[in-house]
Amino acid sequence: MSTRTAALLGAALLLTACGGGGRIGDAGDAGDGKRMVLIPGVSAEPFYISMECAFREAAQARGYAVDVQAPAKFDSTLQTPIVSGVLANRPGAVLIAPTDDKAMAGPMRQLKDAGVKVVEVDTRLEDTSIAVSTVSSDNEQGGQLAARTMAKLVGDKPGSVLVLNTKAGTSTTDARAKGFEDEIGKYPNLRYVGQQYTDNEPDQAVSKLTATLAAHPDLVGVFATNLNTGEGASTGLRNAGRTGVVNLVGFDASPKQVEDLRAGAVQALIAQDPATIGRTGVEQAVAALEGGEVRREVETDLVALTRADMDANEEYFYKQGC
């Protein structure tokens, strides 16, 4: 084999390996326009499982192949490589719950720049120029509903109330905390003592609540802004012997939270509708891909559940599997 022939063969092999010379995810890579990927905020969480079940059913009914890839923790450093891996195969659309409203902007913009239709589900970026649609609960309204529910539970009794939040920079839970803070000020018998961040870890919720009980023995209410903080808060109150004495209002309706509500360990839950979020996310993605009308903002319902009315609203209970 001559030197020239070897060089030409090497160049041909290199070109083949590189997919025709383009970078993975470039517009030159046709991708798979009939494939949708869901990237939830975290794996094995009933809220996102409920969303996933509806996503799979709705996308497959419209003739799309589906894939679901979730980080093990609600963490942008874990979600970013998932986005990069999905980008390599260029699906038609990606439904994603960004785990940080700033840090995920770069990876998600790469999806958009590659021609992938991006739909935000549950959480959102600060940058509104990347997603074609955002489907989410009205989380600030949810926080307001939590405050009104708390005030009704406490009645005229004076005391302090605490918010246990997850991670700063999570758009949904920050909005819930803001809505609660704005609304709780309307009740003069309730003194808001601020929020504590738990890093989305139940054991952190336990320790933060324990410290607050020591600092504020008049604590009469806790609002936990998501599933993990709610489960941790329930454990913390049980450990302190304050279950039912301190009113706990949680957010979301996982099987464990529903069990705690039925048993009296939680006094109320603000439940979202993750199945509708998943189905609606698919509808918006299909509209973007097939030339239909895309709604930039879609808000889904929330409901306050108490032990008295929970069974009448069981459609809001989250799933553990499809």
Q: Which among 156, 232, 229, 223 has a CA at the least distance from the CA of 192?
A: 223
Cα 246 from chain centroid? 27
Cα 213 from chain centroid? 29
Q: Are strands 268-271 and 303-305 parallel, antiparallel or unpaired?
A: antiparallel
Mean pLDDT of the chain: 90
Report pLDDT digits (tens) over 102-149.
999 999 999 999 999 999 999 999 999 999 999 999 999 999 999 999
Record the pTM. Answer: 0.76
Q: Give the span between the Cα atoms of 210 and 234, in whole angstroms.
A: 11
Report pLDDT digits (tens) over 54-97.
999 999 999 999 999 999 999 999 999 999 999 999 999 999 99
Q: How many CB atoms lie within 10 A of CB 206?
A: 23
Q: Give the span between the Cα atoms of 167 and 99, in whole angstroms.
A: 9
10-residue block means of pLDDT along the chain (322 residues)?
Answer: 39 34 35 92 95 98 97 96 96 97 97 98 96 95 97 96 92 93 97 94 94 96 93 93 96 90 95 96 98 96 93 92 92
Q: Give the span between the Cα atoms of 80 and 78, in whole angstroms.
A: 6
- Is there a contact between 72 and 43 (Cβ–Cβ < 8 Å)? yes
| Token reading at 1 | 């084999």
pLDDT score, position 138: 92
